[in-house]
Structure 1
Amino acid sequence: MKVLLISIGTRGDIEPFLAQAELLQKAGHEVVCLFPEQFRETVEKMGLDFLGFDRRFLEMLDSSVGKSVMGGGGNTFTTIKNFYRLMKTSLGLQKILIEQQKDAIDSTRPDRVIFHPKALYCTLPAMAEPKKFFQLSPIPNLIHPHPNYQHLSLSKWKPFSSKWNLRSYGLVNGTRYIAFNKFVKPYFKDFQGIEFSTKSIKNFELKRLQVLYQISPALYPKPSNWPECAYLTGFFARNQNQHYQPDPALTAWLEKYPKAILLTFGSMTNPKPLELSSQIIGLLEKHQIPAIVNLSWGGLQKVESSGESIYYVNQIPYDWILPKLHGIVHHGGSGTTHFAARSAAVQLIVPHIMDQYFWNRLINNNGLGPLGTSIHNFNLEKFEEALIDFWNNPEYRANAALIAEKMSHESDPQELIHLITR
């Protein structure tokens, strides 16, 4: 069977699809990936066919304007101004990305298509052939309402009442349908006999669209009001450490510091990485918390004055390092949150954007770590208070072990493959 995977975004958006590609490949299926051009090397090393999205999308996010919007910094006026500049640039790119989605589906003629929520065009052919298309989402609270949580785009604020949590989905998605029609309306004519009104699209998404939520039910149980076509599959990740050989210096460092943490902001960036790094690493050293600092995409930078209890890496496989550590201070991406929970690591989240505020609350609600402070208007005193609690509270470690045990039994690769290919 030929399966086309379509995902747009940064590494956090691509990794769940790489994990899916690895599972399908092992099961003997032909896999084609349409991801941003920056991920070509990663995909081709896996032995998979690759089609590249316009690389300007990620370059836009990595610009000074993109960093200001995604990573904080600057006053409210500057952030709003940069947000509209980012939106204006992305509107032109969106038309190109939609055309590339259409071309990929038409040229590869796949038996199944698995697409990211950002891949707008895919909803049209999905409405025409609903059994052929699956949306894969590493985050909840976008389409299917949850009474305890508002729509994910509003998660920077505390949850409302159940009534207004549920209403928020209709309000936000109503705006999304307007944008959707703006971009994909020219392609309606290609699907004769399908009604593409706001009401019909809403009903399709809520009742017929097959959605694979690759989220742990131990962290986020499936709500009773969700339809059968919304599947909570558990967390899947590709094996990133099969070829990893740690530096002997790192091995020696871990032996010297058996209780240590990982500090990482993943693919998140911000306008003041050195200043924030200096503040956070300064607190780690003040409280004698040894840490591996993952510099990754530049959200954190090396502090030259730091001592030997701080060890810097450019990249490190989470599935290799996290089981060896006490915990992790991170940005709160879905993949990092799940890796940490599966590894029984205590967590302290410094949320940057939308869904990360949700994971911050969910981790705290599950007793896996304290409530973290946002990188926007970063408050050093509040972060220090949370850091001390994260390091010293034994209940977090005990709860993390219980969640990790539950997660070890909940993700069945064969069941997932059967669901997609049946």
Structure 2
Amino acid sequence: MARVAIMAIGSRGDVAPFTGLGVRLREAGHEVTIASHAVFEPLIRRHGLGFHLLPMDAQEQLQTRFADRGLTRMTIAVNQMIAENARPLAEAMLEAARAADVLLVTPPSWFAAVIAEGLGIPSIGVYLQPLTPTREFPPAALTARSLGGWANYRAARLLLTAGQRPFRSVVAELRTELGLPAASPAAWLKATEQRQWPILYGYSPLVVPAPPDWPAWYRPVGYLHPAPEPDFAPAPELERFLAAGPPPVYIGFGSMPVRDRDALSALLVTAARTAGVRAIVSAGWAGLTADAEDVLAVGEVPHEWLFPRMAAVVHHAGAGTSAAALRAGVPQVPIPVMVDQPFWAKRLDRLGVTPGPVPMRKLRAERLAEALRAATTDPRYRERAQALAAALAKEDGAGAVLREVARVTSGAA
């Protein structure tokens, strides 16, 4: 059995799905360590997984630096945030990698693949968003609107190479330290393609099918889900609220930055009342609040427990939250904020589980109320959501990763 290190940089949505994968790997006999930020140590350790500290306070930086920016600027800013911390991140990942037999690499931790190469151990890309260039759709981190086949492909390729530039000095130092020859971003990308470095995409092919111009070693395998919380017990006030009336809607934005949390909190309450629905508002990293008889503010509640009890789910269209709502079989109202979220919001619209996205920059109480009324009264959205949930339940993304770990650690071709 192998010692597996998972490099998980970013917000909760970038980290939590790897707890479920980590548990599956551990149950298969592997020794699993997740290298991530201090804020996620309790989450990781309570599932019996090893933890290795990566520097950078993602929660503090997201909330103070990135509120109220445009999509492209937000994508660039997040990449710059990681680049600013690249040297200490690389040192911590190198330390974790020295105790591992195989690395699982995520997009924010991409330079861990350089570390694996230098140490002579296998690595696998395990991505939650589509990044491999294709003519089928544009790069998810930049836009949800197709640029045309050729431009879609070129834009994604440019993103992969330009995204490496802020890391050039750190990667050059790493390569020298590990005895690797120098390589430009474009040369490194080409080398990974030539050696058929595997990337398993942790989302459903029913949501984003593998494009025909992707080679076989880049493929969606099914969603990765956070490890279940078997000991979770809802707070008494949450149980009372759920029992006091019809199913409410859930409204939450996870780790997303918010410019004015009080104004947004008030808007959400107004929208729920205008739509005539009860609501549960998740505080999230922004600290949203609610003070109304028919609206309850809650802290952290597992999505797998809460979402099936909801009439609809309003969220920021992060990959993980979108997956949780799809798995629950409930209608959704995506309100994308940054990076890949407009891409997922558009996919949800195509799947027919939402009356349509409402971008955060265009969010108004009246518009949200209209979307809530449609999501909770038009049966087509729930019917489609339930059909998709039944199909998704048959997939096993974690199982595909287990098989790939077995393949690369056994030396099989």
User: Same fold by TM (over 0.5)?
Assistant: yes
Q: Is the 8 Å Cα contact of residues 134 and 152 (structure 2) preserved in structure 1?
A: yes
Find the aligned partners of 2:119 and 2:244 in 1 and give their Cα distance.
57
Displacement of 1:83: 9.5
- For the 8 Å contact 2:249–2:278, the answer to whether it is kept is yes
Q: Aligned-pair distance for 1:61?
A: 2.3
Equivalent pair of 1:326/1:345 in contact (CA under 8 Å):
yes
Q: Secondary structure at the match of 2:103?
A: strand
Paired residue type of 1:34:
A
- From 176, 191, 195, the equivalent of 1:189 is 176
Q: What residue is the counterpart of 1:101 in the other structure?
A: 93
In the other structure, the counterpart of 2:50 is 49
Q: Deviations over 1:22-58 (max 9, x none)?
A: 1111112111221112222222222332211124444
Q: 1:159: Cα distance to partner?
A: 2.1
The sequence identity of aligned pairs, in percent, is: 23
Distance in 2 between the 1:39 and 1:413 partners?
Answer: 20
Q: Does 1:369 align with 2:357?
A: no
Q: What is the CA–CA distance in structure 2 between the aligned matches of 1:400 and 1:274, rounded to whole Å?
A: 32
Letter in 2 for 1:300: L
Partner of 1:259: 247
Q: Where do 5+ consecutive residues of structure 2 fail to align?
A: 408-413
Separation in structure 1 between the aligned mates of residue 149 and residue 77 of structure 2, nearest angstrom: 35
Match of 2:40 in 1: 39
Name which of structure 1's ranges 345-354 and 203-212 shifts more when overlaid on structure 2: 203-212
Q: Quick check: 2:275–2:369 contact (8 Å CA) kept in 1?
A: no
1:179-328 to 2 correspondence within 5 Å? 179-192=166-179, 194=181, 196-207=183-194, 208-302=196-290, 304=291, 306-307=292-293, 309-328=294-313
The 8 Å contact of residues 219 and 403 in structure 1, kept in 2 or not, is answered as: no
Kindly indicate whether residue 333 of structure 2 is the aligned counterpart of residue 343 of structure 1.
Answer: no
Q: Deviations over 1:192-224 (max 9, x none)?
A: 465623343222344522112110112111112
TM, length-normalised to structure 1: 0.88
Equivalent position of 1:118 in the other structure = 108
Question: 8 Å contact 2:62–2:257 — kept in the other structure?
Answer: no
Q: Is the contact between residue 141 and residue 340 of structure 2 (CA under 8 Å) also seen in structure 1?
A: yes
Cα pair 2:161 2:186 within 8 Å, conserved: no
Deviations 1:116-173, CA, capped at 9 Å, x for gaps: 2111431213445787101211111x2x123332112322x52222222122112222
Output one character per residue of 1:274-304: Cα deviation in whole Å (capped at 9) or x when no partner. Answer: 10111121111122111111112225222x2
Partner of 2:368: 383
Aligned residues: 404
Aligned-pair CA distance for 1:62 = 3.0
Q: Residue deviations 1:349-394, cap 9 Å, x none? A: 1111111111110000111102222223534443333333222222
Alpha-carbon contact 2:176-2:182 (below 8 Å) kept: no
- Displacement of 1:262 in angstroms is 0.9
Name the SS of the counterpart of 1:13 in structure 2. Answer: helix
- Structure 1 residue 229: Cα displacement: 1.5
Instruction: Tell me the TM-score normalized by structure 2.
Output: 0.89
Distance 1:391 1:172, change over 3 A: same
The Cα RMSD (Å) is 2.6
Q: What displacement does 1:112 show?
A: 1.0
TM superposition shift of 1:87: 7.5
Alignment partner, residue 148 of structure 1: 136
**Once structures 1 and 2 are overlaid, which stretch shifts more, 11-20 or 203-212?**
203-212
- Report the equivalent of 2:6: 5
Letter in 2 for 1:121: F
Q: Distance in 1 between matches of 2:207 and 2:78?
A: 33
Of the three residues 382, 388, 394, the one matched with 1:409 is: 394
Look up the match of 2:18: 17
